[in-house]
Chains A and B, each alone.
Chain A
Amino acid sequence: MLRMTKLSKVYRTHMIETHALRGFEIDVRQGEFVTVTGPSGSGKTSFLNIAGLLEEFTSGEYILDGVNVKGLDDAARSRLRNEKLGFIFQGFNLIPDLNLFDNVDVPLRYRGFNARERKERIEDALAKVGLASRMKHYPAELSGGQQQRVAIARALAGSPKLLLADEPTGNLDTQMARGVMELLEEINAAGTTILMVTHDPELAVRTHRNVHIIDGQVSDLVRHAPSLVDAGAASASASA
């Protein structure tokens, strides 16, 4: 599904060079639920941004669902992002001036679906997260947990192959967090690959495997429940 080989990301600001990722390698198989952990400043966010085609990388290779990302222009990357990926952010990032229906609608508009198809998908997605009855409400009227679920609905509406989640439970209390995690597990069980960044070790253990990043490199990997992994799933290789 997602494979990065010898990936590097260097930030150059004024006179300072920061190596966010060095020689990073990861391979995520279809249907996996992988968490990415690491201390602050380890490069988790850079990894997620690159994985999500939100940023370009300095060197290395990145293949997403069979497509080599290198050399794609901004329009192509946006297209790829729109069709194959779904995003869930720590801060929900719903658009406050739009109601739930219109919020979930946003990525679908860029896809070019017609009005009827969009309506179907939105209603399905909101129903899946249990918020179909509040379609016309505005984000400000919902709790944190509900907002995140709308964000998940938005991510799902386009039937993405891969869901990228950045600390999805970071702004939620324990109960809401549990609810969101259960939802994600449901979605994963239904066949969507999920890549989740988190610093909560308790969450990390619930998933198939965990990739730990320190100083821009994968430091160790922990395989949790072999039964959850497809037979023949490769393990992440150790860094060079």
Chain B
Amino acid sequence: MEIRPILSALLRNKTGPLLVAMQVALSLAILANALHIVSERRDVAARPSGLLDEASTFYFSVRNLNQDTPEQMLSTIKRELEVLRAVPGVVSVAQVSQMPMSQSGGTTSVAADYRQQRESGYASTYFTGDSLVKTLGLKLVEGRDFLPQEIPEVNEQTNAEVPKLVIVTKPLADKLWPGAPAVGKTMYFGTGDGATGAQVVGVVERLMSAHAELSDTGISSLIMPARQYGGGGAMYALRSEAGQRDRVMQEAEQALRKSSATPMILRIKTVEDDRKDRYRADTALSWMLVTVSVLLLLITCSGIVGMASLWVNQRRKQIGVRRALGARKLDILRYFILENVMITSAGVLGGVLLGVGLNALLVSRLEMSRLPLPYLVAGAVVFWAIGILSAYGPAWRAAGISPALATRST
């Protein structure tokens, strides 16, 4: 293996090889970081919500235009729930105050003990007048759901009653009472002497918060029993039988509108769309990074092929001479591949260093996360492969150069 003479020749003529190595280094650094970010965002957007069948779940936000008293509003709500339950294909309906991943909802601070200095964390607050567990298809892992008699009717304008019972999500339970069963424990809304508490009756495995935060709060949710009325409108969550969502949505809307004497303002949203909207920016960024990565590979590839072709062309005479001196086609091929491997290796080494440096910059300035080693390794392997494959074409052409070129003047 003629490593030393190749290296020596490369060092004499540094510009070209340096340009190629720089391209490889830059591409590798960017690619490794880009793909890591893509992977992270994809993971974030794929986080399960805890719902049994997202594709079949949707909700209505209803607003009546008549000037009802709060009591009239309450009976309207009950009537509307009956109407919705009667629609064929509806598995379950529940009145709810917010929906997961909808980017609209309430958050409260929670504590295991009101005497704590600081709250234990934050949780998303779901109020329901029916069985949210059944409608969203949540999985109970401890305890039970609320009983109908445990759900008070709460006039939002006047009723100061705080919920006495609560269902929490498992991650929140583990945070508040690590290693112990949560059912029966009291959870406090905030800290200090004025903080009120509620008793845990059940734990669901998972329910994503309304804002789907990236922090712990995203999977810390509370479900509290309350049929809220008097605010001028209501929100109903529905789950249809699998595959029936769109038909059921249409029929339910029609049924609701028909059931009201006065016109109503109805807003319909599916959980699927909420998920798309919540992660739209992350998905868009991912696609952009993927596009750029592909372009990076293509450009670097073309750069290597271009430069390799150029060098083969420039050294036609030299190649002829080598053949005249006894080099076989294989020897010439090997020479160029080896030369390219050396340049690519220098680029890969530079790229790994640059990638780590770039990542440090991203972490400190843009609040991104650290780059795990496998990405750099994978990137290095990919660029090595590209380097060798790209050089094959020009190297093959070099091998085809006739030894007679040595004697013929250009």
List residues of chain A with CB under 8 Å of any chain B CB.
45, 48-49, 52-55, 74-75, 78-79, 81-83, 85, 87, 89-91, 93, 95, 97-99, 102, 105-107, 109-111, 138, 154, 158, 166
Contacts and interface: CB of A to CB of B under 8 A. Distances in A.
A109 B2 contact: yes
A55 B404 contact: yes
Contacts of B323: 54, 78
A107 B409 contact: no
8 tightest A-B CB contacts, nearest first: A82-B326, A97-B9, A107-B325, A78-B328, A54-B403, A97-B12, A54-B404, A93-B321
A190 B148 CA distance: 115
Interface in B140-168: none
Interface residues of chain B: helix, strand, loop or mixed (majority): helix
B334 to A, nearest CB: 11
A79 B326 contact: yes
B326 A78 contact: yes
Contact of B328 (A79, A106, A107, A158): A79
Contacts of B8: 97-99, 102
A34 B409 CA distance: 23
Nearest to B322: A106
Given A54-B323, A85-B326, 8 more contacts: A45-B408, A74-B328, A82-B326, A82-B327, A83-B326, A93-B406, A99-B8, A109-B5
Interface in B290-338: 317-318, 321-331
Interface in B4-61: 4-5, 8-9, 12-13
Contact of B407 (A48, A81, A107): A48
B402 interface: yes
B158 to A, nearest CB: 91
Contact of A102 (B5, B322, B330, B331): B5
Nearest to B405: A54
A97 B13 contact: yes
Interface in B113-164: none
A110 B325 contact: yes
22 contacts: A45-B408, A52-B403, A54-B324, A54-B407, A55-B402, A74-B328, A74-B329, A75-B328, A81-B325, A81-B326, A82-B325, A82-B327, A85-B326, A87-B325, A91-B409, A97-B8, A97-B13, A98-B8, A99-B8, A109-B2, A109-B5, A111-B326
A102 B322 CA distance: 13
A233 to B, nearest CB: 27
A90 B323 CA distance: 17
Contacts of B330: 75
Nearest to A49: B404
A78 B318 CA distance: 16
A81 B329 CA distance: 13
A33 B345 CA distance: 49
Contacts of A111: 326
A90 B326 CA distance: 18
Contacts of A78: 323, 326-329, 331
A105 B406 contact: no
A54 to B, nearest CB: 4
B300 to A, nearest CB: 25
Nearest to B323: A78
Nearest to A197: B407
Contact of A105 (B5, B326, B404): B5
A223 B281 CA distance: 91
A64 to B, nearest CB: 14
A125 to B, nearest CB: 13
B407 A49 contact: yes
A10 to B, nearest CB: 15
Contacts of B328: 74-75, 78-79, 110
A154 B404 contact: no
Contacts of A79: 326, 328
Contact of A98 (B9, B329, B331, B408): B9
Contacts of A109: 2, 5
A228 to B, nearest CB: 27
B409 A95 contact: no
Nearest to B324: A87
A158 B325 CA distance: 10
Contacts of A82: 325-327
A52 B324 CA distance: 8
Contact of B331 (A54, A85, A110, A166): A110
Contact of B327 (A89, A93, A110): A110
Most chain A CB within 10 A, of B2, B5, B13, B331, is at B5
A48 B406 CA distance: 11
A107 B326 contact: yes
Contacts of B402: 54-55
A150 B408 CA distance: 20
B336 to A, nearest CB: 14
Nearest to A158: B326
Nearest to B410: A91
A74 B329 CA distance: 8
A99 B12 CA distance: 10
Given A102-B5, A105-B5, A89 B406 contact: yes
B407 A45 contact: yes
B5 A98 contact: yes
Contacts of B322: 106
Contacts of A105: 5
B5 to A, nearest CB: 5
Identify the interface centre among A75, A78, A106: most chain B CB within 10 Å of its CB.
Answer: A78
